[in-house]
Structures are given as structure tokens and as C-alpha cells.
């Protein structure tokens, strides 16, 4: 009996002191979000991750924009790789609604919108849907209102950047401007294009008012952060897209007069990894090579297949190949070729192996790397040259506009245009459009430019004799012409995904210029019906 008592005591002691901390555990490797935002440093750490989040969508962005434009093509017509097939679908305007790349781009973009919403929420910045303004409410953590506004301004810029891309690629998307629960998400349907632009405008105005306003300095530790000038330039582009040229002009004038940004002396300098965040870069998505997990994968994506270490360490994937039209050797397309040899050489290069046909590739971002898919090169989003050309676009065919165009031309080593060259609106618009195409080749601008010109520069792509029966103009004309050219030279030889010319041309219609809302989104919601874009 004594023993019994003894053992029972041991047993009871074990139970009682059986440490309830056994099941009360905290992660040792990660901080939980709920406990994270406690001071200004934490807000900065959160904001940093929003910049990091801008990198991910770039892996697909070129295939949503440059590839679908007349600048680049998917040229492996005999490849059996699923990835290449997906690229062909985009290039030829028939992506299925379940397209993996479209879904990835969508998800990565919204993932970073979520990050910005969390940071904005933590800084007390709320979007008021009715009056279209960012409003501040006091927060419980020990930070000043000015600090909150500074953080929020940058997060706003990033959020606006994402929505601007989404609205142009998908139309009226889902408007998410605060952290939401999974249940709430299932009650939200697509909104109008107007409502998305309203948020973009509010965000960019917030970024202009509260952003870093000091002028450009090459040794500032703020380089890489968005500032007032980047926000003004981006808002100007938004206004141009909405055909509100006067408002754009005012903002651009401010950047030209007061920002301190300027053109680099040579075109090649702008993209050199030894000259990052130079005076021409208003905003870039930054990368850092050297095995830090922060490198740029795109140079390897764009380098030619089977080039070994000749172009970049670790071989290339051969994505985003320049279309025949803009390659110097194809003489039948002289009108499309960049007259600036210096600019051409920076943008496009070629690679030849054995007797195989020469491959042309996007050379702009090639830089020495140690590890594959880990390049140093930043991705330019807003350049001073863009500011100048946007200003010309906003102001139209006036003398000062010619001056802005000529600044860019002369820097590229070309002769300045005279007023005779731009004697008509059509000539002016053509000169400006061409300049933009060459200057921003492979910077994911061309697709949006083509779309924008359809409403803002109607003379640039008229219905001509090429497709007399179709009476089309604008983007549809540009793209059909491009596809027609490429069919003869390229697509007709596709054997794995063969396509007929009439099918190809009918694919390129304005409905298909919008991407499909990912089928995943439509399928996941069993409560409300989500409208797919027309023709999908």
C-alpha cells in the first residue's frame, strides 16, 4: 500500500507538472504577422518586402506584353515543351482560360497587392472608395503621422503600379484595397475599369503628396525607393492612357523642371550594371546578383538556347525572341528597324553555332553572372527618356515636343528631326511612335503603347491597303500586319501547334487583346458568377 501511494504521488506529480508549455509553442524560425508591426522599423521591413514582391510578376510580364506585341515572338515551332506551347498561345492570341502563365502573373501580382494592403493597413492608410482618396487614421503603434505617410506613399505607388498593369491587361479586375478574409473574397466580383483607375489615381496622388520629394542624387541611400517624381511620371502615363493629356502634361513638366533627373550620355550606359540607378532611372525593379537569392532570372530566359556560356553563364531558354521585323538582316522590313546602330546593338544581338541559322536575342539585360538565373541587371520601369517622350505625346505636335523627341534621338546617335519631318500630325505621331518602339524595345512598353495609340494617336496606324476589306485600324491593324508578316516567315512552319493564316488573323481581335480572367478564379467561386472577358 505504501508503494501504491508512492507511485501515485509520482504519477500525480508528473501530470501536474507535465509542462503545459509542451503544447504552447511559438515558431522559432518565423515571426507571425499578428505580432509583427510594433514600430517604424517594422513598417520599413514590411515595405521592403513590397519592393521584393514586384520582382515576381516580371517573370511573366514580358510574355503578357512584349511577346504579344509586334516586338517579339515565340519561334520554337517544333518544340514539345509545355512552357513553349503556352508562350505560343500568348504570341498568337489564343491562350486557354486555364493558361498557366496568365494565372501565375495574376497570382503573383495580387500577392504583392496583398503585401501592400497589409503595409498600408499597418500605417493607417485607407482608401475611401466614395471620394477616391487615401485617408489616414491613427495607429496604435508608436510612429508619427509623417512616418506613416512616408511608408504609405511608397506602398501606394507599388499598388498603383500593379493595378495599372492589371487593368490594361485584364480590364475591370477585382478591387482589393485592404486585407480581406477568404470568406469576404468570395463575395467580391469584378469591378469597372473606371473604379480601378480611381484607385490608381488616388494611390498615385498619395504617393506624390507624401513621397520622397528630394531631387535626384546619385549617392542617395533612398535610390530604389519610389519618390514623388516616379509617382508623377506614372500618373502621367495613367492620364495619357485615359486620354487626359493636359493633366499628364502638367505632371511631366514638373518632373522635367524640378526632379533633377536627366538623360545619360549614351544609350548603353542606361542599362549598364556598373551604372545602376543612374540619373535616367526614375524607377526600376532592382536585382542583385552574386548568389544572394536576389538575382534577375530574365537574362537567362532571354539568352539563346544552346549558347552555353557564350552569352551568359548557364545557357539560355530562348524566350522573347525579337520578331523578324525589327532585326536588321531582314531587309523587307526596313521601316521597322531602329536607325540607331548604337541603340540596336544594345537591344539586339545574335548568336550563331555551326551552320545553324543565326539566332537573334534580347541583349539589353545581359550582364556577367556567376550563377544561372541570378543576374545583377535592374528592370527599368520609368526612365527620363519616357518622361520626355510622354511629354511630347501629351502636348502633341508643337515645337517643344519636337525638342523632347530630338533629345532622345540625338542621345541615340541620330540626326535631329526638323519641323519638316513632322509637318503633319500623322508624320509627328509616326515619328513619336517609332521612337518609343526603338527606345523602349523589350522594356514591356510596346504592348501598352500600341493599345494606347489606338485612342490617343489615331493617325499612326490607319486602315490601309493591307487589309482593305477589314477596315481596321489601331492596335488591330498593327497586330494583324505583324502576324501576317510572321506567318509567312515563321508560323507557317509550326508543326507542333500548326495554325492557319485566317485563324491567326481572326485571333488578333480587340476582344482577345484583353487576357482571360484565370479560369481558376471563375471556378473557385461557387457563390457568385464571375464574368469572363468576351471571346474566351
**Residues from 481 through 520 that contact another protein (CB under 8 A):** 492-498, 500, 518-520
Q: Which three cell numbers stand for residue 314?
A: 548557364
Measuring CA to CA, which residue among 95, 92, 89 is closest to residue 504?
92
292 counts as binding another protein under rule CB under 8 A: yes
> What gap in Å lies between CA 70 and CA 452, rounded to an integer?
15
Minimum CB distance to another protein smaller for 474 or for 518: 518
Residue with cell 556577367: 368
Q: Does 140 bind another protein (CB under 8 A)?
A: no
The answer to whether 4 contacts another protein (rule: CB under 8 A) is yes
Cite the DSSP H helix spans in 283-398. 298-302, 341-347, 384-395
The DSSP secondary structure of 184-202, one letter per residue, reads HHTT-----HHHHHHHHHH
Please report, as residue ranges, which positions from 180 to 199 form the binding site for another protein (by CB under 8 A): 180, 182, 185-186, 188
Segment interacting with another protein (CB under 8 A) among 95-103, 124-132, 333-341, 413-421: 95-103
| Residue numbers 216-235 binding another protein by CB under 8 A | 218-225
Answer whether 465's CB lies under 8 Å from 477's CB.
Answer: no
Torsion of the alpha carbons at 234, 235, 238 and 242, rounded to the nearest 10:
-160
Nearer to another protein by Cβ, of 79 and 397: the residue is 79
Selected binder of another protein within 112, 156, 206, 346 (CB under 8 A): 112
- Report how far residue 340's alpha carbon sits from residue 171's, in angstroms, rounded to the nearest whole number: 35
314 binds another protein (CB under 8 A): yes
Q: Is residue 356 part of the contact set for another protein (CB under 8 A)?
A: yes
Site string for another protein, 261-290 (x = CB under 8 A): ------------x--xx--------xxx-x
Output the smallest distance, CB 389 to another protein, in A: 26
Q: For residues 316 and 305, is the Cβ–Cβ distance under 8 A?
A: yes
Consecutive H or E run containing 90: helix 82-91
* Pairwise CA distance, residues 199 & 176, whole Å: 10
CA atoms within 13 A on the CB side of 282: 28
- Cβ atoms of 190 and 172 closer than 8 Å: yes
Task: Tell whether residue 174 is a contact of another protein (CB under 8 A).
Answer: yes
| Piece of 92-100, 134-142, 319-327, 338-346 that binds another protein (CB under 8 A) | 92-100
100 near another protein, judged by CB under 8 A: yes
| 13: CB partners within 8 A, 6+ apart | none
Residues of this chain, 404-423, that bind another protein according to CB under 8 A: none
Which residues touch 295 (CB under 8 Å, ≥6 apart)?
A: 287, 288, 289, 369, 371, 373, 374, 375, 376
Question: Angle at CA 344, nearest 5°, toward 363 and 72?
Answer: 60
The yes or no reply on residue 529 touching another protein (CB under 8 A) is no
Size of the site for another protein (CB under 8 A): 122
Question: 118 near 195, Cβ under 8 Å?
Answer: no
Nearer to another protein, 32 or 257 (CB): 32
* Among 192, 470, 523, 531, interactor with another protein by CB under 8 A: 523
Q: Does 80 contact another protein by CB under 8 A?
A: yes
Which burial class, exposed, middle or buried, applies to 147 when counting CB atoms under 10 A from its CB (0-12, 13-18, 19+)? middle
Among 65, 69, 71, 79, binds another protein (CB under 8 A): 79
Q: Which stretch binds another protein (CB under 8 A): 142-150, 352-360, 379-387, 465-473?
A: 352-360
Q: Which of residues 21-50 bind another protein (CB under 8 A)?
A: 21-25, 27-34, 36, 45-50
Crossing angle of the two packed helices 100-122 and 145-170, in degrees rounded to 10: 160
Provide the mask over 315-344, with x wherever binding to another protein is found by CB under 8 A and - wherever it is not.
Answer: xx----------------------------
| Residues between 359 and 378 that touch another protein (CB under 8 A) | 370-372, 374, 376
202 part of the interface to another protein, by CB under 8 A: no
Q: Min. distance of Cβ 519 from another protein in angstroms?
A: 7
For 396, other C-beta atoms within 10 Å of its C-beta total 15
Among 132, 260, 268, 308, interactor with another protein by CB under 8 A: 308
Judged by CB under 8 A, which stretch of 229-237, 240-248, 348-356, 471-479 contacts another protein? 348-356
Establish if 3 lies at the interface with another protein (CB under 8 A): yes
Q: Is 78 in the site for another protein (CB under 8 A)?
A: yes
Rounded Cα–Cα distance for residues 270 and 49 (Å): 26
User: Does residue number 98 form part of the binding site for another protein (CB under 8 A)?
Assistant: yes
* Residue of 59, 83, 114, 141 that binds another protein (CB under 8 A): 114
DSSP letters, 9-24, are: HHHHHHHHTS-GGGS-
Q: For cell 487593368, what's the residue?
A: 167
Amino acid at each position: 500500500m505504501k508503494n501504491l501511494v508512492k507511485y501515485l504521488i509520482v504519477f500525480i506529480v508528473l501530470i501536474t507538472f507535465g509542462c503545459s508549455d509542451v503544447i504552447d509553442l511559438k515558431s522559432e524560425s518565423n515571426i507571425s504577422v499578428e505580432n509583427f508591426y510594433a514600430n517604424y522599423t517594422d513598417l520599413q521591413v514590411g515595405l521592403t518586402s513590397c519592393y521584393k514582391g514586384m520582382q515576381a510578376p516580371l517573370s511573366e510580364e514580358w510574355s503578357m506584353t512584349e511577346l504579344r506585341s509586334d516586338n517579339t515572338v515565340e519561334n520554337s515551332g517544333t518544340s514539345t515543351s509545355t512552357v513553349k506551347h503556352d508562350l505560343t498561345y500568348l504570341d498568337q492570341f489564343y491562350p486557354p482560360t486555364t493558361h498557366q502563365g496568365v494565372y501565375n502573373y495574376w497570382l503573383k501580382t495580387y500577392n504583392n497587392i496583398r503585401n501592400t494592403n497589409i503595409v498600408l493597413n499597418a500605417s493607417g492608410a485607407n482608401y475611401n472608395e466614395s471620394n477616391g482618396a487615401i485617408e489616414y487614421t491613427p495607429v496604435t503603434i508608436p510612429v508619427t503621422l509623417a512616418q506613416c505617410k512616408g511608408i504609405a506613399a511608397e506602398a501606394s505607388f507599388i499598388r498603383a503600379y500593379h493595378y495599372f498593369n492589371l487593368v490594361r491587361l485584364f480590364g475591370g479586375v477585382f478591387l482589393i484595397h485592404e486585407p480581406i478574409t477568404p470568406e469576404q473574397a468570395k463575395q467580391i466580383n469584378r469591378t469597372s475599369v473606371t473604379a480601378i483607375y480611381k484607385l490608381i489615381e488616388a494611390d498615385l496622388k498619395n504617393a506624390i503628396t507624401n513621397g520622397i520629394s528630394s531631387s535626384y542624387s546619385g549617392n542617395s541611400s533612398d535610390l530604389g525607393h519610389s519618390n514623388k517624381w516616379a509617382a508623377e511620371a506614372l500618373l502621367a502615363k495613367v492620364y495619357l492612357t485615359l486620354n487626359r493629356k493636359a493633366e499628364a502634361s502638367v505632371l511631366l513638366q514638373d518632373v522635367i523642371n524640378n526632379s533633377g533627373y536627366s538623360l545619360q550620355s549614351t544609350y548603353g550606359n542606361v542599362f549598364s550594371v556598373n551604372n545602376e540607378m543612374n540619373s535616367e532611372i526614375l524607377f526600376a525593379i532592382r536585382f542583385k546578383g552574386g548568389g544572394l537569392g536576389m538575382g534577375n532570372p530574365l537574362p537567362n530566359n532571354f539568352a539563346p538556347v544552346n549558347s552555353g556560356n557564350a552569352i551568359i553563364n548557364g545557357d539560355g531558354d530562348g524566350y522573347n525572341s525579337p520578331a523578324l521585323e525589327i532585326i536588321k538582316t531582314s531587309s523587307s522590313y526596313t521601316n521597322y528597324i531602329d536607325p540607331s546602330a548604337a541603340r540596336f546593338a544594345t537591344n539586339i544581338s545574335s548568336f550563331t553555332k555551326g551552320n545553324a541559322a543565326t539566332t537573334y536575342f534580347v541583349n539589353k539585360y545581359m550582364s556577367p553572372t556567376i550563377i544561372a538565373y541570378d543576374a545583377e541587371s535592374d528592370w527599368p520601369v520609368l526612365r527620363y527618356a519616357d518622361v520626355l517622350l510622354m511629354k511630347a505625346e501629351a502636348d502633341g505636335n508643337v515645337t517643344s515636343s519636337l525638342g523632347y523627341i530630338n533629345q532622345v534621338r540625338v542621345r541615340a546617335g541620330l540626326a535631329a528631326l526638323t519641323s519638316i519631318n513632322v509637318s503633319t500630325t500623322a508624320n509627328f505621331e509616326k515619328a513619336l511612335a517609332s521612337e518609343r518602339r526603338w527606345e523602349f524595345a523589350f522594356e514591356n512598353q510596346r504592348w501598352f503603347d500600341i493599345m494606347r495609340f489606338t485612342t490617343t494617336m489615331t493617325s499612326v496606324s490607319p486602315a490601309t491597303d493591307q487589309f482593305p476589306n477589314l477596315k481596321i485600324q489601331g492596335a488591330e491593324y498593327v497586330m494583324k500586319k505583324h502576324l501576317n508578316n510572321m506567318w509567312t516567315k515563321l508560323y507557317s512552319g509550326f508543326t507542333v501547334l500548326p495554325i492557319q493564316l485566317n485563324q491567326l488573323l481572326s485571333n488578333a481581335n480587340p476582344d482577345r487583346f484583353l487576357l482571360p480572367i484565370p479560369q481558376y478564379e471563375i471556378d473557385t467561386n461557387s457563390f457568385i458568377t464571375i464574368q469572363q472577358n468576351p471571346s474566351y
